[in-house]
């Protein structure tokens, strides 16, 4: 065979091989289409088989959006410990079948009941959970305050265990008497400006609280536009007197009402009266000047809507 003929035959071989491979791919595609159309005609089951067994593989594109994972919040067993201490203090080992004793034992089966002397034991008034501390996963220490009718307060710490879901609790040991929580350091009050109770602002505040707490007049007439505030109903007091007013801004103490739109914050000390006695009350309120008068724009101790910040 001549070299030229050999060269021509060797040069033609690669196209022939490529053509064979291309023909194989086309044949597979035709067969896949035929199987798919046949499956569609045969029904949904066959269609599912054809799709799963087809030669084409489609991979889902990875999402860059992080997957949200919900974790159960640790449930606070304060109420559970409070119920236990209340029942435990009201029970007695001499009467283990009483309702309070049975309740205490159901909440803490391994805890012994107290054995008080009825004539020497002060009468229990109220029991309140005041602090909860999570010591470890599923382990809590709850501080409970017990106030007796004659005045003294005793604090008990109660160990409580919680399950992983936070839906079940158990008292794991007897209560322990502890010192009460320390008194926190209070930040300095922002209300440092003395406001005359008989001035423009003091008078407006006095009239407002007269309507708000005694029903003497309409509350709406003292409110800034857009502010809604319902009076206390039924009116709990027969008379209200402003004792002190302290402002956070110097404008609150101005003799004349400042320009429209001036805003001030004040703390008001009032004395409310009813048939049962006198009651000292305090409120933080915001006021805004408009048309030569002060109007209430927010009552921090009430339910203000549509314009009043709480």
pLDDT winner (highest mean) among 10-14, 45-49, 158-162: 158-162
Task: Identify the band that residue 1 occupies on the pLDDT scale cut at 50, 70 and 90.
Answer: low
pLDDT score of 27: 62
- Of 32-46, 237-251, 272-286, the one with minimum mean pLDDT is 32-46
pTM comes to: 0.61
User: Of 9-23, 118-132, 184-198, which gets the smallest average pLDDT?
Assistant: 9-23
What's the confidence (pLDDT) of residue 117? 86
Is the confidence at residue 47, as pLDDT, over 60? no
**241-268 confidence digits (pLDDT tens):** 999 999 999 999 998 999 999 999 999 9
pLDDT at 41 over 70: no
Q: Report whether pLDDT(304) > 60.
A: no
> Which domains are seen in the chain, by residue range?
78-178 (3.10.450.540), 193-305 (3.10.450.540)
> Residue for token digits 């023909």?
23
**203-230 confidence digits (pLDDT tens):** 999 999 999 999 998 999 999 999 999 9
Percent of the chain residues past pLDDT 90, beyond the cut? 60
Distance of CA 36 to the CA centre of its chain: 56
Band (75; pLDDT cuts 50, 70, 90): confident
Over range 124-147, report the average pLDDT: 93
Per residue in 86-129, pLDDT (tens digit) is 999 999 999 999 999 999 999 999 999 999 887 877 889 999 99
Question: Which of 212, 205, 191 is CA-nearest to residue 295?
Answer: 205
> What pLDDT does residue 310 have?
35
10 pLDDT above the threshold of 70: no
CA angle in degrees (0–180, nearest 5) for 266-286-251: 60
């Amino acid at each position: 065979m001549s070299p030229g003929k050999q060269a021509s035959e060797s040069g033609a071989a690669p196209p022939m091989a490529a053509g064979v491979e291309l023909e194989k791919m086309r044949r597979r595609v035709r067969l896949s289409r035929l199987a798919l159309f046949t499956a569609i005609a045969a029904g949904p089951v066959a269609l599912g088989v054809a799709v799963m067994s087809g030669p084409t593989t489609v991979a889902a594109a990875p999402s860059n959006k992080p997957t949200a994972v919900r974790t159960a919040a640790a449930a606070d067993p304060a109420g559970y410990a409070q119920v236990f201490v209340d029942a435990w203090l009201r029970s007695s080992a001499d009467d283990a079948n009483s309702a309070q004793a049975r309740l205490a034992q159901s909440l803490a089966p391994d805890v012994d009941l107290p054995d008080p002397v009825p004539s020497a034991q002060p009468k229990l008034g109220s029991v309140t959970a005041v602090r909860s501390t999570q010591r470890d996963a599923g382990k809590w220490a709850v501080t409970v305050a017990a106030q007796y009718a004659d005045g003294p307060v005793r604090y008990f710490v109660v160990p409580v265990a919680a399950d992983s879901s936070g839906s079940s609790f158990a008292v794991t040991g007897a209560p322990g008497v502890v010192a009460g929580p320390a008194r926190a350091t209070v930040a300095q009050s922002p209300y440092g400006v003395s406001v005359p109770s008989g001035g423009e602002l003091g008078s407006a505040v006095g009239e407002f609280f007269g309507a708000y707490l005694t029903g003497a007049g309409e509350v709406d007439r003292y409110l800034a536009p857009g502010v809604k505030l319902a009076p206390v109903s039924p009116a709990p007091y027969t008379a209200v007197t402003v004792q002190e007013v302290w402002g956070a801004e110097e404008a609150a103490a101005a003799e004349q009402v400042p320009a429209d739109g001036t805003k001030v914050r004040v703390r008001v000390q009032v004395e409310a009266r009813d048939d049962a006695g006198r009651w000292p009350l305090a409120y933080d309120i915001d006021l805004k000047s408009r048309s030569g008068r002060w109007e209430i724009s927010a009552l921090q101790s009430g339910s203000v809507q549509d314009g009043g910040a709480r």
